[in-house]
């Protein structure tokens, strides 16, 4: 019985050592847009604050499933979702993790969006 519990602790410790994750702040931008916004209308535009979008992908061993995460795709997704044409106070994050043979990675965009054209 003692050997069984010792083996369980060793397996649990090995699994914990094989698990890792990390998130990093890649940068910040004051203004992001995929089109040319109406700069005169930006001052009066109503902002939706604290919105976020992310793109992710998984791996098994070294085989990726899906396309690589893209900040641009996350921004387009966010602007489409809120019918916006610009984003201010944009912050960019990447995350990576691994558990034994499985891994994942994502990019996330957080900021405030608005529509300068009304």
pLDDT at 86: 94
% of residues, the chain, pLDDT over 90: 62
Judge whether residue 1 has pLDDT over 70: no
Instruction: Please give the residue that has the higher pLDDT: either 19 or 106.
Output: 106
Q: Which phi-psi region, left, alpha or beta, contains residue 66 (left: φ > 0; alpha: ψ -120 to 50)?
A: left
Q: Count of alpha carbons within 13 Å of 48, Cβ hemisphere only?
A: 15
pTM to 2 decimal places: 0.80
Domain ranges of the chain: 21-114
Say which range, 16-25, 82-91, 100-109, has the weakest mean pLDDT: 16-25
Which residues lie closer than 8 Å to 95 by C-beta, 6 or more apart? 21, 22, 23, 24, 104, 105, 106, 107, 108
Judge whether residue 95 has pLDDT over 70: yes
């Amino acid at each position: 019985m003692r050997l069984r519990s010792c083996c369980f602790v060793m397996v649990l410790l090995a699994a914990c050592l094989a698990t890792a994750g990390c998130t990093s702040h890649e940068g910040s931008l004051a203004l992001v847009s995929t089109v040319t916004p109406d700069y005169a209308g930006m001052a009066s535009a109503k902002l939706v604050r604290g919105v976020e979008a992310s793109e992710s992908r998984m791996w098994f061993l070294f085989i990726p499933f899906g396309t690589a995460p893209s900040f641009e795709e996350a921004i387009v997704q966010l602007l489409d979702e809120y019918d916006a044409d610009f984003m201010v106070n944009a912050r960019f994050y990447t995350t990576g993790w691994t558990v034994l043979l499985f891994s994942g990675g994502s990019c996330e965009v957080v900021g405030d969006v608005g529509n300068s054209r009304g």
